[in-house]
Amino acid sequence: MSGPRHLIDASGVALELVRPPRRIVSLIPSTTEMLCELGLADAIVGITAYCIEPRDVVRTKPKVGGEKNPDLDAIRALAPDLVIANLEENVRDHVETLRAWNVPVWVTYPRTVLETIAFIREIGTVTGTEARAGALADEIEALYHATRAAMAGPPPVPVFYPIWRDPYMTIGRDTYVHDVLATVGASNVFGDRERYPTITLEEMAVRSPDVIILPDEPFRFRRAHVKDFEAFPQVPAVRAGRIHLMDGKIFCWHGPRLAEALRTLPRLFRPDSASAI
């Protein structure tokens, strides 16, 4: 960087960068993974207890608590020159406290596939890794356009994607998972609802999904939970045996996981179209 740069984050706050950060605390697991993808593993000095990838990196990094309950004093003691947070996943009061201590915080908030591609470029700008981030974003953007073209034509496949059990919760409109599903040829059966609605399986049955995805985060769905759905044999997904236990990171982690989603998920919903991607 040749001089100070003034950037505005998702919380509307300006961040002045004189040089690329050298001591970064990441409060989002997917961001931790992406920082490593951008070659910044050595610059990471603190992560959350939920930052689990890449495993060979995170096992050596100090933990500063969870996303909702970080140890702010521990973060300050690490003397970071940048903390990266998320508008939804982290607590505003915590961000404001760090800023009051003159700890620079960059807040992100990607909610769609295209916003995630822009987010990759944004993190590249903030961390001084523009070239590497740009190359990754270009690759994913090309995959995005190819996927959209391949999925055009036939109607999307109705999908139920729960995120919690007891009570059951799912994703509605204006969520990243909703947009990922739409991009890869699926239609969220609760796409007309608020962001994270509580629903019943009876309501799910009325909406007749052709596919049911049981992710392993934030709730860890397991094979035993498939029995919940077997009580509804009239549901097309149950009748056809299209209930899939899957890695939730491919659906909800921003960053390089999006490339994996665009390459692999279309064949889950439309096997005949996968070869076009």
Q: Tell me: the pLDDT tens digits for 54-75? A: 999 999 999 999 999 999 999 9
Are 186 and 211 in contact, with CB atoms under 8 Å apart?
yes
The pTM score is 0.93
Q: Tell me: the pLDDT tens digits for 21-46? A: 999 999 999 999 999 999 999 999 99
> Would the CA dihedral through 186, 30, 27, 99 be positive or negative?
negative
Q: Note the CATH architecture for domain 5-109.
A: 3-Layer(aba) Sandwich (3.40)
CA angle centred on 87, ends 83 and 89, rounded to 5°:
85
137-276 shares the fold of 5-109: yes
Q: Tell me: the pLDDT tens digits for 246-259? A: 999 999 999 999 99
Q: Answer whether residue 276 shows pLDDT above 50.
A: no
Q: Tell me: the pLDDT tens digits for 153-180? A: 889 999 999 999 999 999 999 999 999 9
Q: Domains of the chain: which residue ranges?
A: 5-109, 137-276
Q: Note the CATH architecture for domain 137-276.
A: 3-Layer(aba) Sandwich (3.40)
